[in-house]
């Protein structure tokens, strides 16, 4: 029997207090008020859960997981939030304290409400556990049903004939090549995931996959292949990587690869003004035989649903990405959920035998699981690349990333205690440094940042000379040589404070971090279709001529330089320091990762791993407490969702 909570509108009072202290967004509170207006005061508990589901969406979770919530409400909801002041913590109840006021059985309460699981209701309760806002439940359903259908599109390829093609592309070897296995998998299936860490050969594999697909196409005309990535920077990197790798292909195969230019997903699907709708959709599918998406871990659930709907049923979809990276900034962890268990393979025997014939080498016995298809259907279309060509798991950046990703803290504790001593004993560790400081204003940290950004300031001081585009290219390349990444936005160790300090250190007190000045690095924070810029694009304010206004230099989605007036830009922020989340899809020669003084649920091994692997040559980890680094390594991120689970349908 459902019972009323203690006091009149007590839960709504809690929500309003949370909102007043910026623990909730306005949209979270508005949804709760909407449910109350429609259903009356008796629905206060349901309205409270609606606000929590909306709050979770703002933290990247497509749903509110009631089981996780019951186990550790404060950690799941991050209430109090990491930015909460002492005053607000005293004025507000925690999530756990607020939920203790609800004495009804949560699933029973929600299932009985007119706001849940009825036609056009704003929420869906799935599997008696996951509470969704209906739109995000629909996105999940669209993705699941589309991908499972594509998994059924199996091309009848003779593995012996395929082996001849792969021998020409990869060469013959007595060693198992997971890149070659991935190529065979993608040539066979209508949907494939190729996952692996930095330098594991995803681009190397894709270039050979493109040649394989063209070699084994059924029609006479070349396949229509489209390449895409979530951001302009990621698309430019994909294009550049493919062009470089083509130089390693046999000449007679290079000409078969007709598509080499990657575009953003927004451009691929045809974004239309400020609408959420795309030009290509279920009614107007994209004309393509193959679509390959790089950096797929950054693709949120809404974009993935739009992508799958825009592809014809026969279009082959291939996702590339690192499943161990942070999930997308927006809601969803699509790649991570689809790749769950990928380290172990879980291939059915029949599939493993076919892959072995196409390779000439059997797959490891521990990667074969006859029950795998029932529990992990997507893994029958997934290959994980294990060996990094960029990072040796026993050297420098690769060693540090490996230890953190594996959550092995013993080596990490020794390194944090004596990074210089370990580097002196083992030169392979010389490109990783641990810097323990008491505050972000530390002299050592200031010297590190000033030295890192020094070459950029020198280039700016030189001016454009006779060739503006050459200068612009040099500036953008230099901007990728050094970058400060922070785990949090607020506080002494957060992005906001760091940008103020770095601006002061580099340019003095005559400029402000939130105002325009020559040399200001900026990041776009929302998609701006009017100027064709996307969330995460990086620009640099420059003075081309003292008599002319400032221009902001960007690299367009086609790789060309763009010089825009600051007045045309709306949603942006200074980016000498950026969050680790925002750095996904980027790579910097020297990356400085800054961890906050206080512990927080957002400090996870995925966050550390992502920040560390943004470095290509040198990594500096800045922190105050080694204990906080160890605690973050031991904590894993869990994004709620049921993408890989067969769900009940609620229309």
Residues at the annotated binding site for ATP? 196-203
The per-residue b/e assignment along 33-66, b for 16 or more CB within 10 angstroms, e otherwise, is eebbeeeeeebbbbbbbbbbbbbbbeebbbbbbb
First to last CA, the chain: 26
Tokens, residue 271: 């974004």
DSSP letter for 42, please. Answer: G
- Specify which residues 195 forms β-bridges with: 321, 384
In what helix (H) or strand (E) does residue 123 lie, and over which residues does it extend? strand 123-126
The per-residue b/e assignment along 465-497, b for 16 or more CB within 10 angstroms, e otherwise, is eeebeebbebbbebbebbbbbbbbbebebbbbb
Rg (CA), the chain: 26
Residue pair 482/589 in contact (Cβ under 8 Å)? The answer is yes
Tokens, residue 102: 């609800």
3-state secondary structure of 566: helix
> How many residues belong to the chain?
651
3-state secondary structure of 227: strand
Annotated binding site: 196-203
Secondary structure of 468-480 as H, E, C letters = HHHHHHHHHHHHC
Residue pair 302/266 in contact (Cβ under 8 Å)? The answer is no
360-365 long-range contacts (CB < 8 A, ≥24 apart) are 360/163, 360/172, 361/173, 361/174, 361/175, 361/176, 363/176, 363/181, 364/176
Handedness of CA 56, 62, 66, 70 (dihedral sign): negative
Residue pair 179/320 in contact (Cβ under 8 Å)? The answer is no
Residue pair 60/329 in contact (Cβ under 8 Å)? The answer is yes
Residue pair 36/47 in contact (Cβ under 8 Å)? The answer is yes
Helices (H) then strands (E): counts for the chain: 27, 19
- Specify which residues 542 forms β-bridges with: 551
Secondary structure of 128-185 as H, E, C letters = CCEEEEHHHHHHHHHHHHHHHHHHCCECCCCHHHHHHHHHHHHCCCCCCCHHHHHHHH
């Amino acid at each position: 029997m459902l019972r009323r909570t203690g006091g009149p509108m007590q839960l709504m009072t809690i929500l309003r207090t949370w909102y007043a202290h910026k623990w909730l967004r306005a949209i979270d509170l508005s949804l709760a008020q909407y449910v109350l207006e429609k259903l009356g005061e008796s629905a206060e508990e349901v309205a409270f859960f609606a606000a929590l589901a909306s709050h979770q969406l703002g933290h990247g979770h497509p749903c509110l997981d009631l089981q996780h919530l019951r186990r550790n409400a404060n950690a799941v909801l991050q209430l109090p939030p990491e930015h909460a002041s002492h005053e607000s913590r005293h004025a507000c109840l925690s999530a756990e304290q607020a939920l203790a006021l609800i004495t009804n059985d949560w699933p029973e309460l929600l299932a009985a409400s007119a706001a849940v699981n009825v036609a056009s209701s704003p929420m869906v309760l799935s599997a008696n556990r996951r509470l969704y806002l209906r739109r995000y439940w629909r996105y999940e359903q669209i993705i699941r049903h589309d991908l499972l259908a594509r998994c059924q599109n199996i091309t009848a390829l003779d593995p012996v004939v395929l082996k001849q093609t792969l021998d020409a592309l990869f060469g013959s070897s007595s060693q198992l090549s997971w890149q070659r296995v991935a190529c065979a998998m993608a040539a066979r299936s209508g949907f494939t995931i190729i996952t692996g860490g930095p330098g594991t050969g995803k681009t190397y594999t894709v270039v050979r996959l493109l040649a394989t697909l063209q070699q084994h196409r059924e029609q006479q005309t070349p396949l229509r292949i489209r390449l895409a990535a979530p951001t302009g920077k990621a698309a430019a990197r994909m294009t550049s990587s493919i062009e470089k790798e083509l130089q390693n292909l046999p000449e007679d195969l290079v000409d078969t690869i007709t598509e080499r230019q990657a575009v953003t997903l927004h451009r691929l699907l045809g974004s239309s003004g400020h609408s959420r709708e795309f030009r290509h959709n279920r009614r107007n599918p994209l004309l393509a035989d193959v679509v390959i998406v790089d950096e797929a871990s950054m693709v949120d659930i809404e974009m993935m649903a739009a992508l799958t709907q825009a592809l014809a049923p026969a279009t082959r979809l291939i996702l590339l990405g690192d499943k161990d990276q942070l999930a997308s900034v927006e809601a969803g962890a699509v790649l991570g959920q689809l790749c769950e268990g990928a380290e172990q393979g879980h291939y059915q025997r029949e599939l493993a035998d076919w892959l072995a014939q196409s390779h000439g080498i059997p797959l490891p016995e521990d990667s074969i699981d006859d029950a795998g298809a029932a529990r992990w259907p997507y893994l029958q279309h997934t290959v994980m690349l294990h060996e990094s060509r960029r990072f040796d798991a026993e050297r420098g950046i690769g060693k540090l990333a490996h230890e953190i990703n594996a959550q092995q803290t013993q080596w990490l504790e020794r390194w944090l205690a004596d990074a210089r001593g370990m580097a002196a004993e083992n030169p392979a560790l010389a490109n990783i440094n641990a810097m323990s400081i008491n505050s972000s204003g530390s002299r050592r940290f200031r010297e590190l940042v000033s030295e890192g950004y020094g070459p950029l300031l020198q280039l700016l001081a030189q001016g454009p000379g006779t060739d503006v585009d050459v200068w612009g290219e040099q500036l953008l390349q230099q901007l990728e040589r050094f970058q400060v990444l922070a785990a949090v936005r607020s506080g002494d160790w957060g992005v906001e404070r760091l940008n103020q300090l770095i601006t002061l250190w580099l340019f003095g007190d005559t400029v402000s971090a939130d105002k325009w000045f020559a040399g200001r690095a900026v990041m776009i924070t929302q998609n701006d279709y009017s100027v064709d810029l996307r969330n995460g694009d990086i620009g640099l304010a420059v003075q081309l001529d003292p008599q002319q206004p400032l221009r902001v230099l960007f690299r367009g989605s086609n790789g060309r330089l763009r010089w825009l007036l600051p007045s045309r830009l709306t949603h942006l922020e200074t980016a000498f320091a950026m969050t680790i989340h925002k750095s996904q899809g980027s790579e910097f020669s020297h990356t400085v990762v800054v961890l906050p003084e206080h512990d927080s649920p957002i400090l996870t091994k995925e966050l550390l791993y992502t920040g560390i692997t943004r470095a290509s040559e040198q990594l500096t980890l800045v922190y105050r407490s080694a204990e906080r680094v160890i605690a973050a390594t031991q904590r894993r991120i869990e994004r709620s969702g049921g993408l890989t689970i067969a769900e009940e349908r609620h229309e």
